[in-house]
Amino acid sequence: MKACIEKKMMKNSLRSFPLFLSMGIFCLLPLLSTGCSKEQKADGPGTPEVTLMTIAQQDVPMAPEYVAQTQSSRQVNIQARVSAFLEKRVYTEGEIVKEGQELFLMDQKPFKVQLDQAKAALSRQEAAHKTAAQNLERTRPLAEQNALSQKDLDDATGQYDSTAAAVEQAKAQMEQAKLNLSYTVITSPVNGITSAALQQDGTYINQQNSQLTTVEALSPMWVNFSLSENELQRHREQIKNGRIRPPEDNNYIVEVILVDGSIFPNTGKITFAAPSYNTQTGTFLLRASVENPEGVLRPNQFVRVRLKGAVRPGAILVPQRAVQQGSKGHFLWVIDKDNVAEPRPVVVGDWNGNDWFITEGLKAGERIVVDGGMTVRPGAPVKIKTQQKDEANAAGK
């Protein structure tokens, strides 16, 4: 402002100066005027203050997230193997049980009677077999001396073989009676959590109502999630083009995120991929197996999974707030060496937390506006408030 005042004073006093001095002053006026306008432009009150970030390319780990649902790795329907009255339920519904723990007791009295009958039948057959063996021992030498006929020897031999078979049959029937008796005590075949009892005490159990409850194993827990056909195809193309480097042998690490946002302490690995797409949803099913010794995860629980292991080599990652949407698509404000802003169209890729991958439009070393971009105008200078280097890429590590 001082230079402008001096310029006006000089104009008012030109008439009192000699001609050659007036000409010299007129030559200096354009320079003074230019200096004044530049000072107003650079330090004017309308110059926006912005926060800048210097772009750097580097390998950025990928961690895409998907909605998932848990599933028991082993779900067992507990069913009665024999028909009898249900005597008692000996477990608490909904509790975690150990392998071999008793769940139900059925009426054992009829099966004990059957076992006693089988034992008696075995004793009778063993006695008959013993008599047949003694008779054969007496018959064989007499037949050799022609004291008895060959028919007598054949009858004795046949009786011996018949009673021997009857003994084996009686043994099998006794084992069957023992099994039926053991089936009256119903135990859990796995470690897991029990569901509600489907039959009440005193109910007669037969083939029509034989299912009593369900036990679901809690560890390992399966976590199922799906990828759309478009996602899978884009992922494969990016791997082919070198924009994604998958982990060795495709051994992705699966991290489970609980409903409150906390991270489940144990990670898992993908153990199953569906052989075909789901025709109704157009998605591809993947399954991860996660150890769950404390039983924190329960079957049919909704969670999120994060796949770790893949890397974007030489990627550019910028904060999402730095990207603006225009009539022609996404753009960023790029600041040149003279601190002048120019819009730069960019092609955005996937999200990474609160940041965006930029696939086209930026290169390493350029400076972009992170905060304050809403007040920037094309070709106008900016005032740098702060300059942070590679904020987004550092956040992606």
**DSSP SS3 for 243:** coil
Contact 193, 39 (CB under 8 A): no
Contact 71, 93 (CB under 8 A): no
> What letter represents residue 94's amino acid?
G
Q: How far apart are CA 368 and CA 105, in angstroms?
A: 74
| pLDDT at 147 (0 to 100) | 86
Other CB atoms within 10 Å distance of the CB of residue 307: 20
**DSSP SS3 for 273:** strand
CATH of 78-216, one of 2.40.50.100, 2.60.200.20, 3.40.50.10800, 3.40.50.460: 2.40.50.100
27-31, 230-234, 279-283, 360-364: lowest mean pLDDT where?
A: 27-31
Q: How far apart are CA 318 and CA 330, in angstroms?
A: 13
Name the token pair of 149: 């006929």
Whether 156 shows a pLDDT value over 80: the answer reads yes
| pLDDT at 136 (0 to 100) | 92
Alpha helices per DSSP H over 194-228: none
Q: How far apart are CA 29 and CA 11, in angstroms?
A: 9
**DSSP SS3 for 123:** helix
What is the DSSP code (8-state) at residue 36? H
Give the confidence band of 351 by pLDDT, cuts at 50, 70, 90. Answer: confident
CB under 8 Å to 280, separation ≥6 — which residues? none
Residues 65-74 have pLDDT tens digits of 999 999 999 9
Whether 207 shows a pLDDT value over 80: the answer reads yes
| pLDDT at 395 (0 to 100) | 43
What is the residue extent of each domain of the chain? 2-41, 49-61+314-395, 65-72+218-309, 78-216
Omega of the bond prior to 48 within 30 degrees of 0, cis?
no
| pLDDT at 11 (0 to 100) | 46
Residues 29-73 have pLDDT tens digits of 444 444 444 433 444 557 889 999 999 999 999 888 999 999 999
Whose tokens are 């995120």? That residue is: 257
Residues 213-229 have pLDDT tens digits of 999 999 999 999 999 99
Question: Residue 3: is it exposed, middle or buried by C-beta count within 10 angstroms (0-12/13-18/19+)?
Answer: exposed
**Angle value at C-alpha 105, between 100 and 108, nearest 5 degrees:** 120
Q: What is the mean pLDDT of residues 310-330?
A: 91
CATH of 65-72+218-309, one of 2.30.30.60, 3.30.470.20, 2.40.30.170, 2.20.25.190: 2.40.30.170
38-42, 82-86, 228-232, 291-295: lowest mean pLDDT where?
A: 38-42
Give the confidence band of 390 by pLDDT, cuts at 50, 70, 90. Answer: low
Strands (E), 188-321: 192-194, 204-205, 211-216, 221-228, 253-257, 268-273, 283-290, 302-308, 311-315, 317-319
Give the confidence band of 148 by pLDDT, cuts at 50, 70, 90. Answer: confident
Name the token pair of 11: 């104009």
| pLDDT at 24 (0 to 100) | 43
Residues 236-268 have pLDDT tens digits of 998 998 889 999 988 999 999 999 999 999 999
CA distances (Å), origin 74, targets 100, 144, 392: 16, 67, 43
Report the DSSP pairing between strands 49-54 and 383-389: parallel
Q: How far apart are CA 101 and CA 79, in angstroms?
A: 15
Residues forming a β-bridge with 255 = 306
| pLDDT at 386 (0 to 100) | 81
Reduced 3-state DSSP string for 318-352: EEHHHCEEECCEEEEEEECCCCEEEEEECEEEEEE
Topology of the domain covering 49-61+314-395: 2.40.420
Q: What is the mean pLDDT of residues 104-119?
A: 97
| pLDDT at 385 (0 to 100) | 85
Contact 102, 222 (CB under 8 A): no
Q: How far apart are CA 203 and CA 356, in angstroms?
A: 63
Residues 170-196 have pLDDT tens digits of 999 999 999 999 999 999 999 999 999
Whether 392 shows a pLDDT value over 90: the answer reads no
Going by C-alpha positions, the residue among 353, 372, 364 that lies closest to residue 389 is: 364
> What letter represents residue 387's amino acid?
Q
Going by C-alpha positions, the residue among 25, 136, 54 that lies closest to residue 317 is: 54
- Give this prediction's pTM: 0.71
